[in-house]
Structure 1
Amino acid sequence: MTAPTATATDSAATDSGAERAPVRRRRPRTGTALVTAAVVVAVGAGGAAAIGFGGRDPGTATASTLPPATAQVTRQTLVDAQTVDGELGYGTTRTAAARRGGTLTWLAPTGGTVKRGQPVYAVDNSKVVLLYGGLPAYRTLRSGVEGADVKQFEQNLSALGYTGFTVDDEYTGSTAEAVRDWQEDLGRDDTGRVEPSDIVYADADVRVEGHEASTGDTVQPGKSVLTYTGTSRLVTVELDIDDQRLAKKDNKVGVTLPDGKQLDGLITEVETVIETGSGGTGQDEPETRIEVTVTVADPKALAAYDQASVKVAFTADERADVLTVPVAALLALAEGGYGVEVVDGGRTRIVAVSTGLFASGRVEVAGDGLTEGLTVGVPA
């Protein structure tokens, strides 16, 4: 905040001063303009003034020309809040890509749910199955291999009911025997080895959102096959980097559905993403965004909607029972900090103040002798 400086002097009168993480392709967004809704729950009377700054000598009482406008010091609850557009759906969309070349012979149906151990798609009639885990398959698992990826795979193999091995970070001959049983059940060659192209890892069950290829297509490694999401109904919000203060994990938010119904929500995930341009003039500069995932307390209330635009009300900060003045009433003092011009009858004096929360055009203030109901000057 920049303001003209009020110079401290011993004169009896002075005039008022002058006016004072993951990289993604940018998705088309509709209706994502931010809607400011900084809420103030007033306890006392309030006033409004034009934005501007000015000042006089702190502590000096004057009989000079009074300020062009005034407002009152109020005691109230000040809330820094903002309402933005969000999308109700199934969370972040991800892509499953072929890990080896061949003919695409089967795809899980759009809108269907794929659970652990079930096929997502098939290449050359070899099923690629879903397993749970955050570590992607990146190497061939065979006897003698050790590591976190081995343990993750063995945890899945055990959960699918296969036995005879120890779940740890060592791929042993016993693991290979269990894998052969698993491969036989899937109709694969029972090699006892697990190739990266055999698996799609996800955190949990997935919902197939769409197909990126058709059965019969010849696919090469890296070719997108289908897109998928989680299965839980979520609200996703994209914030500008300047609004990062709103995105605090585990904070409560309010969600308003298209029919006006309001639901309680909770921020469950906050992720910084870099979106790349979609091509064309001025579209290629990367943009950093904050992606916020919100869950609602009553998921059944979302049953009427598959995907929809919603409003999400964030509260960044709140101060209860504090003194406030319009931001425009602040004066920059020569000795540093801020003050306000208290108007008392036909005279004025400058009171130095400390500031707190700024919201809704007002600011939390505290200073010697500053009380609710005092009148302060506001530049025109």
Structure 2
Amino acid sequence: MGSSRKNTVLIVASIAVLALVVGLVAGMQITSPADAASRTAPPDATDVAVPVERRALVNQVVARADASFEGAIDVLIEPGEAGAKAVVTGQVPEAGDQLNEGAAVLEVVGRPVIALEGELPMYRTLSPGMRGPDVLQLEQALSRLGLNPGYIDNVYTGDTARAVAGMYQRIGYAAPPMSPDIEAELDAARQAVREAERMEDAGDVLDEARARLGEAQAQAGTPLPISEVQYFPTLPRRVDDVKVRRGDVLESAPVMTASGADMVLTARINDVSGELIAEGDEAIFDLPRGGTATGTVTDVRDASGSGGYEVSIEPGELTPEQVDALRGSNVRVTIPVASTEGEVLVVPLAALTAGPGGESRIELQDDDGVTTLVRVNVGLSAQGFAEVTPAEGEPRFDAGDLVVVGR
């Protein structure tokens, strides 16, 4: 009986001890709201610092540009004499061919259509004795070709006629004949002189006959038919598209389109970027089939009606395959507008702050985390970085030193 009571006391005591231990353990697992808040609070703020770097900076304008040949025009050839069939008989170019001054653009009814450079279109057949700006334009073209038209003025003289005949001979065609009326007048004037010379007392008759012959000779010589010259604003030119073939009859429609022989890239750029670009700047552009090529800015002009600027870029040397791939494409163009001379000390733009007087500053951080504000001179800004040097009297710094960019 006493033993049983003793066992019961021991069991109760053991249960009490166990309960106490469980309570203590559970109490350790319970966290008050204040403790929980203190444990989940963010750590004390620290500075975000990055190293000062040494690198070259390049500021550049990036845009899209259309590639084309300059000044495409439609070529409309005068069909010649009214009522005659103007049949294309040869000299038909292909797309990509080059039209040169003094060469045949096309052959119509066995006669060449010769390319010459000039702004004034061919509006009449020219022959000796004629005057006008179209004569002056012709003589200027003949002179460029190395053919001597005599004194370059607005008068079609015998020298002009001989130079025209030489132009035809050079490309393998017979010179155009004089008109039958002029030839007949020349023959009649010569006959009149011969008859007057046989007279015993010719006197005034011979003088009149010789004057008539002089006038006829002044009008004689190789003419230039209206249908055998095609003027272009500039030459050489590149054939873009040919609309006729041998055997076709010319009508009042273009026979081909031709553009400048030189390719040009044309980019539209906004006001801010466009103001940084100048003629002579180098440009780098992507090639459609991979790789890049360089060019030169040749013109910067206001873009009519749309604001901004229109920039023309002349590509450097390209292979024929690259030219064909580039024609008509739209490519990315990069124009460096400023750069540092080699590597300089740079910091991220986020590292720059303004002092009370508007001066630029950076905040350097040492190995112990202590920061120092340093006034700096700021150079070129590009690619998210700015060139910096210590202002006069400020401590020096170098690549690898830490600069604060945020907190």
Matches within 5 A, 1:291-370: 291-296=312-317, 299=319, 302=322, 305=325, 307=327, 312-319=333-340, 320-344=342-366, 345-368=368-391, 369-370=395-396
| Partner of residue 270, structure 1 | 299
Give the whole-Å Cα distance in 2 for the aligned partners of 1:125 and 1:331: 80
| Partner of residue 157, structure 2 | 173
Q: Which has the higher contact order (CA 8 A, sep 6+)?
A: 1
Q: Secondary structure at the match of 1:185?
A: coil
Q: 1:228 aligns with which of 237, 243, 258?
A: 258
| Partner of residue 154, structure 1 | 139
Distance 1:313 1:376, change over 3 A: same
Gaps in structure 1 of 5+ consecutive residues: 1-64, 277-284
Superposition deviation, residue 351 in structure 1: 2.7
CA contact under 8 A between 1:338 and 1:354: conserved in structure 2? Answer: yes
CA contact under 8 A between 1:120 and 1:128: conserved in structure 2? Answer: yes
Distance 1:312 1:361, change over 3 A: same
CA contact under 8 A between 1:255 and 1:311: conserved in structure 2? Answer: yes
| Partner of residue 119, structure 2 | 136
Q: Which amino acid aligns with 2:73?
A: T
CA contact under 8 A between 1:176 and 1:193: conserved in structure 2? Answer: no
Cα displacement string for residues 12-33 of structure 1 (whole angstroms, at most 9, x for unaligned residues): xxxxxxxxxxxxxxxxxxxxxx
Q: Which amino acid aligns with 1:131?
A: L
Give the whole-Å Cα distance in 1 for the aligned partners of 2:64 and 2:47: 39
| Partner of residue 175, structure 2 | 185
Distance 1:180 1:347, change over 3 A: closer
| Partner of residue 74, structure 2 | 96
| Partner of residue 74, structure 1 | 53
CA contact under 8 A between 1:71 and 1:375: conserved in structure 2? Answer: yes
Distance 1:187 1:150, change over 3 A: closer
Give the whole-Å Cα distance in 2 for the aligned partners of 1:160 and 1:121: 19
Matches within 5 A, 1:42-57: none
Give the whole-Å Cα distance in 2 for the aligned partners of 1:188 and 1:311: 57
Cα displacement string for residues 297-349 of structure 1 (whole angstroms, at most 9, x for unaligned residues): x6377488574666555433221221211122222344234322333444444
Q: Which amino acid aligns with 1:177?
A: A
Distance 1:180 1:79, change over 3 A: closer
Give the whole-Å Cα distance in 1 for the aligned partners of 2:153 and 2:360: 62
Q: Secondary structure at the match of 1:116?
A: coil
CA contact under 8 A between 2:73 and 2:258: conserved in structure 1? Answer: yes
| Partner of residue 274, structure 2 | 244
Q: Does 1:118 align with 2:103?
A: yes
Matched pairs, number: 296
Gaps in structure 2 of 5+ consecutive residues: 1-43, 169-173, 180-220
Higher helix proportion: 2
| Partner of residue 208, structure 1 | 239
Give the whole-Å Cα distance in 2 for the aligned partners of 1:163 and 1:95: 30
CA contact under 8 A between 2:354 and 2:360: conserved in structure 1? Answer: yes
Distance 1:347 1:66, change over 3 A: farther
Q: Does 1:163 align with 2:148?
A: yes
Matches within 5 A, 1:254-269: 254=284, 256-263=286-293, 265-267=294-296, 269=298
Distance 1:206 1:334, change over 3 A: same
| Partner of residue 93, structure 2 | 109
Distance 1:286 1:327, change over 3 A: closer
Cα displacement string for residues 106-137 of structure 1 (whole angstroms, at most 9, x for unaligned residues): 595341332212344689998653224xx622
CA contact under 8 A between 1:94 and 1:229: conserved in structure 2? Answer: yes
CA contact under 8 A between 1:78 and 1:318: conserved in structure 2? Answer: yes
Q: Does 1:376 align with 2:403?
A: yes
Q: Secondary structure at the match of 2:343?
A: strand
Q: Which amino acid aligns with 1:95?
A: I
Q: Secondary structure at the match of 2:141?
A: helix
